[in-house]
């Protein structure tokens, strides 16, 4: 897991400030846009997971496959206790979300690469993975725009993925993809809640 995705982070760090001047004074619009995107993503996350599992063969494609215990150290878990989540302020929520979707976009890129290796003849899955990555990237941008609109400091970029074990087995890669697509859904759900809260706070 040593794949270096520094270019995208670098790009992000470069481009995010550029949005600041164009950002509206009212944060309602970026919040609304981000919320719409999150909602839209939410409708597709389960499809993505199902499509992914379907292409991975047994046991992944088996009906009712679930492995909630599998986790990736490089990917922050979306699960959080309601008390903790509720206690978070806007900045923390947005920061956690940003962090997570930055990691997710990197991981989705990784999974996409893995799948184009493992399932080269599955353009639907590859397209969905690419789209999911782009959406994660987009939500990241929207969140940055919200922070800019709110006048919050944008947290520094991190190479969350770190070293990528290129020698991972196909099964490991499939497992990794499963975790990423699953967590993508979880984080999307959490983002919808985060943004709904924020949207309520900053009505249009």
**Contact string 20-39 vs other proteins (x = CB under 8 A):** --x----------xx-xx--
Q: Which of 21, 25, 43, 64 binds other proteins (CB under 8 A)?
A: 43
Residue 107 half-sphere exposure toward CB, CA atoms < 13 A: 26
Closer residue to other proteins, CB minimum distance, 127 or 163: 127
Q: Counting contacts by CB under 8 A, is residue 16 touching other proteins?
A: yes
Q: Counting contacts by CB under 8 A, is residue 66 touching other proteins?
A: no
- Applying the rule CB under 8 A, the residues between 140 and 159 that interact with other proteins are 140-142, 144-145
> Could you tell me the end-to-end alpha-carbon distance of the chain, in angstroms, rounded to an integer?
43
Q: Counting contacts by CB under 8 A, is residue 135 touching other proteins?
A: yes
Q: Look at residue 167 and give its three-state secondary structure.
A: coil
CA angle in degrees (0–180, nearest 5) for 19-48-108: 50
Give the separation between CA 134 and CA 82, rounded to whole angstroms.
29
Give the separation between CA 55 and CA 76, rounded to whole angstroms.
25
Give the separation between CA 82 and CA 172, rounded to whole angstroms.
32
Give the separation between CA 155 and CA 175, rounded to whole angstroms.
30
Q: Counting contacts by CB under 8 A, is residue 100 touching other proteins?
A: no
> Which residue is associated with the tokens 């903790």?
84
Give the separation between CA 204 and CA 201, rounded to whole angstroms.
10
Q: Counting contacts by CB under 8 A, is residue 131 touching other proteins?
A: yes
Question: What dihedral angle (degrees, nearest 10) is formed by the CA atoms of 22, 26, 32, 33?
Answer: 0
Q: Counting contacts by CB under 8 A, is residue 83 touching other proteins?
A: no
Closer residue to other proteins, CB minimum distance, 41 or 118: 41
Q: Which of 138, 152, 155, 175 binds other proteins (CB under 8 A)?
A: 138
Closer residue to other proteins, CB minimum distance, 111 or 140: 140
Closer residue to other proteins, CB minimum distance, 132 or 179: 132
Least Å distance, CB 124 to other proteins, is 12
Closer residue to other proteins, CB minimum distance, 43 or 83: 43
Enumerate binding residues for other proteins (CB under 8 A).
8, 11-12, 15-16, 18-19, 22, 33-34, 36-37, 40, 43, 127, 131, 134-135, 137-142, 144-145
């Amino acid at each position: 897991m040593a794949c270096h995705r520094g270019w995208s982070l670098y790009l992000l760090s470069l481009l995010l400030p550029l949005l600041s001047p164009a950002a509206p004074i009212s944060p309602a619009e970026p919040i609304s846009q981000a919320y719409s995107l999150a909602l839209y993503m939410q409708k597709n996350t389960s499809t993505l997971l199902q499509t992914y599992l379907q292409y991975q063969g047994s046991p992944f494609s088996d009906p009712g496959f679930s492995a909630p215990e599998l986790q990736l150290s490089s990917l922050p878990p979306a699960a959080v206790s309601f008390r903790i989540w509720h206690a978070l302020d806007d900045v923390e929520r947005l920061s956690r979300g940003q962090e997570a979707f930055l990691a997710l976009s990197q991981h989705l890129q990784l999974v996409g690469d893995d799948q184009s290796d493992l399932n080269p003849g599955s353009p639907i899955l590859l397209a969905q993975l690419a789209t999911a990555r782009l959406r994660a990237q987009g939500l990241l941008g929207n969140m940055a725009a919200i922070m800019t609109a709110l006048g919050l400091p944008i947290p520094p970029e991190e190479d969350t993925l770190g070293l990528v074990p290129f020698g991972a087995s196909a099964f490991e890669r499939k497992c990794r993809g499963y975790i990423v697509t699953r967590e993508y859904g979880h984080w999307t759900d959490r983002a919808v809640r985060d943004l709904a809260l924020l949207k309520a706070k900053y009505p249009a």
